[in-house]
Amino acid sequence: MAVLKVFADVLQDFHEKKKNGALYVSVAVASENLIRFYFRDGEIYHLSYGATADRECLDILDCYDLDKAVYFDGMKSAVASSTLPRTRDLISAIRRTGKNVFID
For the chain, the structural domain boundaries read: 3-103
Question: What tens-digit pLDDT sequence spans the chain (104 residues)?
Answer: 889 999 999 999 999 999 999 999 999 886 778 999 999 999 999 999 888 888 888 888 888 889 999 999 999 998 998 889 999 999 999 999 999 999 98
Helix and strand totals (H; E) in the chain: 3, 7
Sequence-distant (6+) residues with CB within 8 A of 82 are: none
Say how far apart CA 87 and CA 67 lie, in whole Å: 22
